[in-house]
A and B are shown apart, each in its own frame.
Chain A
Amino acid sequence: MFNGRLTSIVKISLLSAIMALTGNVFADPVKAAFIYIGPTGDHGWTYAHDQGANYLKDKMGDNVEITRIESVAENSDSARVITSLARKNDIIFTTSFGYMNPTIKVAASYPDVKFEHATGYMRPTDNISTYSARFYEGRHVIGKIAGRMTESNVIGYIASFPIPEVIRGINSAFLAARSVNPDVQIKIVWVYTWFDPGKEADAANALIAQGADIIMQHTDSTAAMTVAEEKGVYAFGQASDMTAWGPNAHLTSIINDWGPYYLRQVQGVKDGTWTSTDTFDGIRQGMVKFARMTNMPIDVKNEASKAIIDVMTGAVHPFTGPINRQDGSVWLADGETPPMFPDIITMDFYVEGIDSQYPN
């Protein structure tokens, strides 16, 4: 009995010594959480964020523990989910605009946890960072392609919600299309959802029936691409490469590449260098990328490539004056480009030339 006790004491001390040692060698992994608005299988917005999380895991391996919660509605549900995650994580990425208020609220109660809110602009406490990508730079490029490729001169645009992010995309695509084709018009249909394949397909069908021969989407599923393929028109993918859903319809896709940003921020938490920042990166920083350009003649492809390079080098800004607002008032004088805040960040008007009424 005495022997037994002695052995257990030895065992325990050995065990604790090992634990202490390993504890010093491998610091605790950073606990990172991601909240998604849709399912990771949407092949759009949420899929792109999830790819970013995968990239983070690949690069940091055992130094990061990732929790992912998908399909979280932008209502009181999200506040509850964010709170429960805040109890167990070091850094939380809330990846939809609608999570803004819950993120801010929860962040105020958990000052030790870092919060990263995608596409938002409010950082009232110093544990919140905001980040977004300049998708309007991507829209500028696909606008050029659309302006060249359309024969009916009608571009159909499936829009989700009238928030600055979406408005910027519409304006940027329209201006770029007009710059290469003065007769082009844009038809905008708001579906008031991010993910409803059936409704997105209905919208694409409606636009095509009304004469659109190019479909752009700012919703998350691949439905519009499949409709374009079926109806024999062109379409652009959103957030990830959608070539597979429209081998003959796909022109290119704007790809959201969040991975490097996620790595940088989580590494920052690990190193203790994380600070509250506002990131708004575009083509140059690699946050906005493109899928392979397909189904277009070589000169259009070249023009699009040139547009990418122009934006990348800063030679061209997607919003370069003269541009008027839809009501005819002057927004940008000749050669002028808008400041990031408030003009681009809070954009809430159509530019002149767009026929549709601004949604209220």
Chain B
Amino acid sequence: MNEGLIIAIIIGISIASAPLIFAAIGELVVERSGVLNLGVEGMMIVGALAGFIVEFHTESSLLAVLAALLAGMAIASIFAFLTQILLTNHVATGLALTLFGLGIAAFVGRSYTEENIELISEVHIPLISDLPVIGPLLFSYNPLVYLAFIMVFLVWWFLFKTKQGLILRAIGDNHDAAHAIGHNVIRYRVLAILFGGAMAGIGGAFLSLVQVPIWGEGMTAGRGWIALALVVFSSWQPFKVILGALIFGGITVIQLHAQGFDIRISAAYMSMLPYLATIVILVSLRIRDKNKTNRTMPNCLGRIFHSTT
């Protein structure tokens, strides 16, 4: 196996992982605030379409990413309105959001299946990107790949280093107590949901703007659900999202490469592994948290908050 191939595999993994990182880090903030939004897949596909349409018409990558972000937020705002103002059930609303997103994207995207666009290209810093090994390995990724990692850092910094982050976590763990000492639970949650939508939107756009320059109905192909599993896998810790995404995304890519080398590992087992790992982690968290007061899982996850109760 030569150097170029290893680099190609690593770049492949980064491209397969980045959309998962975006979607999962957004959902992590949502869940940290005590909201369970199962609509990630729906928000991703809407982002993928919005990004594609804007890229197609304006040929501006920046506008395209912005559009994906706004589209993700727009559809997330429906969820925010239903769950936070009308106090609907999180699980049912989230599932509805996924179905709605897939449907509306398929409907609106009808006329765009014929088109293709220019992909967002990798960064190229003169001299540095040309360095052997280090250049392609560190300085030649797609700008959105860097952004994914930066977002993880920012979310970690926000959650654990700022006052607002602390309040958000407090709300996720005990919304009644947070409310009692005067924090606006609904406002924090709505903002968290909108952030989750924005990240899912960019994650979806990554598929249609970086991975393949086409729009196809259902092209997220379950990545939103993987992102949800990833949040559990990370046990709600931002940096573990990166680890999880690299494993989830890496398995797909390595499996495809292994086939090319005729190393035969059953594809079914390989694609099962990340989920198996998620279940194992869930169980071990449960055992570890049993006798502790500070649990990893947000205590109020999925619970409806109403200020009068």
Q: Please give the residue numbers on chain A whose beta carbons come within 8 Å of chain B beta carbons, in ascending order.
A: 39, 41-43, 71, 156, 187-193, 195-203, 205-207, 209-210, 221-223, 226-227, 230, 244-245, 355-357, 359-360
| A199 CB contacts on chain B under 8 angstroms | 221, 252, 256
Partner of B119, one of A187, A188, A230: A230
Q: Flag if B259 contacts A190 (CB, 8 Å).
A: yes
CB distance from B153 to the nearest CB of A (A): 25
Q: Flag if B12 contacts A244 (CB, 8 Å).
A: no
Identify which of B136-144, B173-181, B206-214 touches chain A: B206-214
Q: Flag if B216 contacts A189 (CB, 8 Å).
A: no
A sample of 8 cross-chain residue pairs with beta-carbon separation below 8 angstroms, ordered by A number, consists of A39-B113, A41-B217, A156-B260, A192-B271, A193-B221, A198-B212, A202-B256, A209-B5
In the complex with contacts A41-B109, A209-B4, A197-B216 CB distance below 8 A: yes
Q: Flag if B218 contacts A201 (CB, 8 Å).
A: no
Counting CB contacts under 8 A, is B171 at the interface?
Answer: no
Instruction: Name B1-39 residues within 8 Å CB distance of A.
Output: 4-5, 8-9, 12, 15-16, 19
Q: Flag if A226 contacts B214 (CB, 8 Å).
A: yes
Q: Taking CB as reference atom, which chain A residue is nearest B121?
A: A230
Counting CB contacts under 8 A, is B219 at the interface?
Answer: yes
Q: Please give the residue numbers on chain B whose beta carbons come within 8 Å of chain A beta carbons, in ascending order.
A: 4-5, 8-9, 12, 15-16, 19, 106, 109-110, 113-114, 116, 119, 207, 211-214, 216-219, 221, 223, 252-253, 256-257, 259-262, 264, 266-268, 271
Q: Flag if A187 contacts B214 (CB, 8 Å).
A: no
Q: Flag if A227 contacts B260 (CB, 8 Å).
A: no
CB distance from B68 to the nearest CB of A (A): 15
The 6 nearest A-B residue pairs measured at CB: A41-B113, A209-B8, A39-B217, A206-B256, A196-B221, A210-B260
Partner of B214, one of A188, A245, A360: A245
Residue picked from A193, A209, A244, A356, most chain B C-beta under 10 Å: A209
| B212 CB contacts on chain A under 8 angstroms | 197-198, 200-201, 221, 223, 226-227
Q: Flag if A356 contacts B217 (CB, 8 Å).
A: no
In the complex with contacts A192-B268, A210-B257, A245-B116, A205-B8 CB distance below 8 A: yes
| A205 CB contacts on chain B under 8 angstroms | 8, 12, 15
Q: Taking CB as reference atom, which chain A residue is nearest B268?
A: A192
Give Cα A207 to B59, complex, Å: 29
In the complex with contacts A230-B119, A245-B116, A355-B262, A71-B257 CB distance below 8 A: no
Q: Flag if B12 contacts A209 (CB, 8 Å).
A: yes
| B218 CB contacts on chain A under 8 angstroms | 39, 71, 195
Give Cα A198 to B206, complex, Å: 10
Q: Flag if A71 contacts B16 (CB, 8 Å).
A: no
Give Cα A201 to B4, complex, Å: 18
Give Cα A193 to B113, complex, Å: 19
Q: Flag if A192 contacts B267 (CB, 8 Å).
A: yes
Q: Flag if A189 contacts B260 (CB, 8 Å).
A: yes
Q: Taking CB as reference atom, which chain A residue is nearest B222?
A: A196
Q: Taking CB as reference atom, which chain B residue is nearest A206?
A: B256
| B256 CB contacts on chain A under 8 angstroms | 189, 191, 199, 202-203, 206
Q: Flag if B260 contacts A207 (CB, 8 Å).
A: yes
Q: Flag if A201 contacts B211 (CB, 8 Å).
A: yes
In the complex with contacts A41-B109, A202-B16, A221-B260 CB distance below 8 A: no
Q: Flag if B12 contacts A202 (CB, 8 Å).
A: yes
| A223 CB contacts on chain B under 8 angstroms | 212, 214, 216
Q: Flag if A198 contacts B110 (CB, 8 Å).
A: no
CB distance from A247 to the nearest CB of B (A): 10
Residue picked from A193, A210, A355, A356, most chain B C-beta under 10 Å: A210
Residue picked from A206, A207, A226, most chain B C-beta under 10 Å: A206
| A192 CB contacts on chain B under 8 angstroms | 267-268, 271
Give Cα A202 to B18, complex, Å: 13
Q: Taking CB as reference atom, which chain A residue is nearest B266?
A: A360
Q: Taking CB as reference atom, which chain A residue is nearest B119?
A: A230
CB distance from A44 to the nearest CB of B (A): 10
Q: Flag if A221 contacts B216 (CB, 8 Å).
A: yes
| A359 CB contacts on chain B under 8 angstroms | 264
Give Cα A207 to B207, complex, Å: 19
Given contacts A198-B16, A209-B4, 12 further A-B contacts (CB under 8 A): A39-B106, A41-B109, A188-B259, A189-B260, A193-B221, A195-B221, A197-B219, A203-B256, A205-B8, A221-B214, A221-B216, A244-B116
